[in-house]
Amino acid sequence: MTRFIHHGDDKRRFIRRMFAEIAPRYDLLNRLLTLGMDRHWRKRLAKAVRLESGERILDLACGTGDVARTIARQQPESIIVGADPVPEMLAWTSTRSLRLRTVCCESEALPFQDNSFRTITVAFGVRNFSYLDRSLQEINRILAPDGCLGILEFALPTKGRLRRFYHWYLTSLLPRLGALLSRGYAYHYLAESIRHFPGPEDFINLLASSGFSHVVTERFLGGTVWLYRGQKVSA
Ligand SMILES: C[S@@+](CC[C@H](N)C(=O)[O-])C[C@H]1O[C@@H](n2cnc3c(N)ncnc32)[C@H](O)[C@@H]1O
């Protein structure tokens, strides 16, 4: 049984409201609930996309700008654009880095020209997209030929005991911890959206059918977090 909507305009409205509400506590909760491991995963993402000095990079679903700042530290010469549809999340990004330009937009209608970025990153964003297929096609459109897409996303582990523990953590412990500091329903949504999102094998197939090749993966914490790197197929 599902409590939340996982596609379309109703999802979009829900997502905007939820992230607007949790924005002030988002970074703090990330650190606490992942015991600081989220920093390591974001660094791995920035490394995996093999950035070149001075290039233009898009961090889509940038939220409060954690990945963008990680990239900015690694590539001081680069121009980084952070895009997100929730102004309350973007507000935290803009106050923290002068070198980062932010754009308020949705992944399914990106206000950028074809082939305009060599690298695009999305950390814990794709699961929240209201139109996943269309968004991947948009990402592909604005990525330069042979450009690189790096994605971080949660998944359910496949192994029995770990899967049961993680399920308990997501559905029982996490919403209670989340409710102490922020909005509990956001963490119920997190659990349900992870269960609802395509598993790694299906997501790799979806990337391939959206025009990405050479997809490689790396997984962390027993397969609860996955890093995907793909290359835009040249015409
Ligand atoms: C879990 S947060 C991740 C933020 C950041 N990337 C990070 O690693 O902390 C998910 C972000 O996705 C954004 N988002 C949701 N739907 C989106 C969409 N359709 N297009 C772009 N961003 C979206 C939300 O506003 C939110 O900031």
Q: Specify which residues 227 forms β-bridges with.
A: 152, 218
pLDDT, tens only, 196-232: 999 999 999 999 999 999 999 999 999 999 999 999 9
- CA of 161 relative to ligand 1 center, distance in Å: 30
89 CA closest ligand 1 atom index: 27
Residue from 25, 90, 110, 128 whose mutation best tests the ligand 1 pocket (most atoms within 8 A of CB): 128
Q: At residue 28, does pLDDT exceed 90?
A: no
Residue nearest (by alpha carbon) to ligand 1 atom 17: 129
- CA of 128 relative to ligand 1 center, distance in Å: 7
Residue from 12, 19, 60 whose mutation best tests the ligand 1 pocket (most atoms within 8 A of CB): 19
Q: Which residues line ligand 1 (CB under 6 A)?
A: 15, 19, 60-63, 66-67, 84-86, 89, 106-107, 123-125, 128-130
| 187, 174 Cβ separation under 8 angstroms | yes
Q: For residue 158, what pLDDT is reported?
A: 83
| 128, 193 Cβ separation under 8 angstroms | yes
Q: At residue 29, does pLDDT exceed 80?
A: yes
pLDDT, tens only, 97-153: 667 899 999 999 999 999 999 999 999 999 999 999 999 999 999 999 999 999 999
Lowest mean pLDDT segment, chosen from 89-93, 179-183, 220-224 = 179-183
Strands 143-154, 225-232: pairing is: antiparallel
Residue nearest (by alpha carbon) to ligand 1 atom 1: 124
Q: For residue 214, what pLDDT is reported?
A: 95
Q: Specify the length of the chain in residues.
A: 235
| Percent share of the chain, pLDDT over 70 | 97
Domain range annotation of the chain: 8-155+198-232
Local structure of 21: helix, strand or coil: helix
User: Is 8-155+198-232 in CATH node 3.40.50.150?
Assistant: yes
